[in-house]
Structure 1
Amino acid sequence: MSSINLQGIKGVIPAMMTCFDESGAFDEKRQRDLTRFLLSKNIDGLYLTGSTGETFLMSSDERKKVVEVVIDEVAHKIPVIVHVGDIGTDKSIDLARHAYKMGADAISSVPPFYFKFSSDEIVSYYQDISESVPLPMIVYNIALAGLVDFNTIKRLAKIENVKGIKYTATSHYEILRIKEEIGKDFMVYSGCDEMAMSGLAFGSDGIIGSFYNVIPELFIQIVQAERENDIKKARSLQISADAIIFFVLEHSFFASMKKMLSWIGHDAGFARKPFAPLTAEAEEDLRRGLKEIRDRYHITGVEVLENL
């Protein structure tokens, strides 16, 4: 049985990027700097070795090293959730046990992917991992790995240590259903950056996403506006955030976010192959486009946009 209360983990939680050097090796110095940068923004937690962390391009040992470095740098200042998902149950259990040993506050996992696993097999996967460590499990529902249906979510919620879900899907009406049919104490984390406002409005307890690495200020304000029931302000902030998100997505996603941080003195390194690097021409276009967005939407207080 989990000894940690997941209900204390709320708010803005970046799905943290993993830092690699020019040769593609994990870069501890850059990772520690990125951790300190995000802590300085008063975020509410970190989600490690997930999709944004390029986790499936890493070995298990590399994933463990990321966890060790970040948890050491965080030093219990904020909660840390470790994604342990993989295609094999034994691999995920090994990662879960390591996360527990290192002091993680919770674990998370995508469902087993590639093969078309049955609902029973998916439930068994989560059951086995959840029983391997006394940490709360957050199911990770994302189309990239295969969305689980609502009935399966309900079955998963009956597993003793499954305490929440990272809901990276656009069908936000199911967030309402989860809260009504499973229970208000079952934690829901909205995972679509471009729909953070919607996820919160539909009852999510927090938001976990990629762009919180580079523009956390906007999402911290969105959460605050939602808490104050200032829907007009939240909507305006989401419009600004979406303009940035959709523009950046026109470029090499991981390389662009890492490059943006380098502009403000926080070099997050390079994307790992086969992700493409950002060319000099693309970087110039990125700068020019983000400056235009900043000025058009009158965005202030976002560090990566201030000195374009």
Structure 2
Amino acid sequence: MKKLYGTVVPIVTPFDESGKIDVGSLKNLAEYIIESGLQCIYPCGTTGEMCLLSEDERKLVVETVVRQVNHRIPVFAQVGAMTEKETVELARHAVKTGCDGIGVVTPIYFQISDRGLVDFYVRVAQSVPSDFPVYLYGIPQNAVNDISFQVAQEVAARCPNIVGMKYSYPDMTRLQEFMLINQETFSVLVGPDHLFQAVVAAGGDGVVSGNAMVLAEHYREIWKALQAGEWDVARKIQRRTNVLNRILCEKNNISAYKVMLREKGILCFAAVRAPLENLSVEEERELIERMRELDYTRVIG
């Protein structure tokens, strides 16, 4: 079964002037990720405004990306939704569409017990073929529910197609605990970008990074340095990305990504879907100027 590694990109969902999915810009974005040398595309994640998309819109995004990528790099769709029924439907759609695997965020808003989380993940994993890769996705600061070591260990033991997880809370202790699950086979990726180099050095497999859409050159070179064992080079590039990422994430990071991608000519428009807030014209100008002043496309290695 395929697994995630390196830089996995949770792409934004582009919208046109009328608020519909901008299929042309979505194709451009997928092509840009491939040409930038990054390792995987992850549509309909948090950065993709998943909770603000209808089921049909999510299916359109996944279908568009899979067709455009055409097996050149893996595509893992994030299928977690407000209801288990929709999650299962999106999981099966990902299989049918030709995705290489799926990520599944924990149930959100309502607090679920560990037993409830185990049962949820087992049911979702068993709704797709036993050789179709499933990743757990924990982001407790957004979703309320968290994934403990015990939960991850049990579901991985019960479902052989649960092959790894993305954990988006900056807890190195928890991340290293996850690395003890089915050692050598269970894959662990980090969400917080500033831990990319540290997590891989500790034995993890990579990062799931929205910032990588804007800073693709940096993430490509960090991964290349890590693969070569050039730890000092990786650390230097990581520190530079940390500075740039802070600017990108100061205000409405999803809007900031779209502004910079529009600036690069990849997206036609930079709108996010309400109730998310767009950057103001002044905030857009300031963001672009600050990134240019730091020569943000230049990689220090």
TM-score by length of 2: 0.93
2:31 to 27, 36, 47: 36
Q: CA deviation at 1:251?
A: 2.5
Which AA in structure 2 matches 1:113? I
Which AA in structure 2 matches 1:138? Y
1:6 to 2, 7, 10: 2
Preserved CA contact (<8 Å) 1:258 1:268: no
1:137 to 123, 134, 137: 134
Q: CA deviation at 1:175?
A: 3.1
Partner of 1:147: 146
Which AA in structure 2 matches 1:294? D
Partner of 2:285: 284
Which AA in structure 1 matches 2:241? A
Task: Report matched runs for 1:201-280 at 5 Å.
Answer: 201-267=201-267, 269=269, 270-280=271-281
Which AA in structure 2 matches 1:136? P
- Kindly indicate whether residue 84 of structure 2 is the aligned counterpart of residue 86 of structure 1: no
Quote the Cα distance in structure 1 between the aligned partners of 2:181 and 2:295. Answer: 42
Partner of 1:195: 195
Secondary structure of 2:14's partner?
coil
Which AA in structure 1 matches 2:250? E
Q: CA deviation at 1:60?
A: 0.7
**Consecutive unaligned residues in structure 1, runs of 5 or more:** 303-308
Q: CA deviation at 1:102?
A: 0.2
Partner of 1:305: none
Q: Which runs of 4+ in 1 moved over 3 A?
A: none
Q: CA deviation at 1:111?
A: 1.0
- Kindly indicate whether residue 298 of structure 2 is the aligned counterpart of residue 300 of structure 1: yes
Partner of 1:74: 69
Which AA in structure 1 matches 2:36? K
Q: CA deviation at 1:228?
A: 2.1
Q: CA deviation at 1:301?
A: 5.2
Task: Report matched runs for 1:27-176 at 5 Å.
Answer: 27-134=22-129, 135-143=132-140, 144-145=142-143, 146-160=145-159, 161-176=161-176
**Consecutive unaligned residues in structure 2, runs of 5 or more:** none
Q: CA deviation at 1:37?
A: 1.3
State the aligned residue count: 294
Preserved CA contact (<8 Å) 2:237 2:299: no
Quote the Cα distance in structure 1 between the aligned partners of 2:189 and 2:76. Answer: 12
Preserved CA contact (<8 Å) 2:197 2:234: yes
Deviations 1:46-100 (A, max 9, x none): 1110101000001111100100111010011111101110132111000001110
Quote the Cα distance in structure 2 between the aligned partners of 1:167 and 1:12. Answer: 14
Preserved CA contact (<8 Å) 1:14 1:45: yes
Let me know the Cα RMSD of the aligned residues.
Answer: 1.7
- Which stretch has the larger CA shift, 98-107 or 34-43? 34-43
Which AA in structure 2 matches 1:6? K
- Kindly indicate whether residue 13 of structure 2 is the aligned counterpart of residue 15 of structure 1: no
Preserved CA contact (<8 Å) 2:211 2:248: no
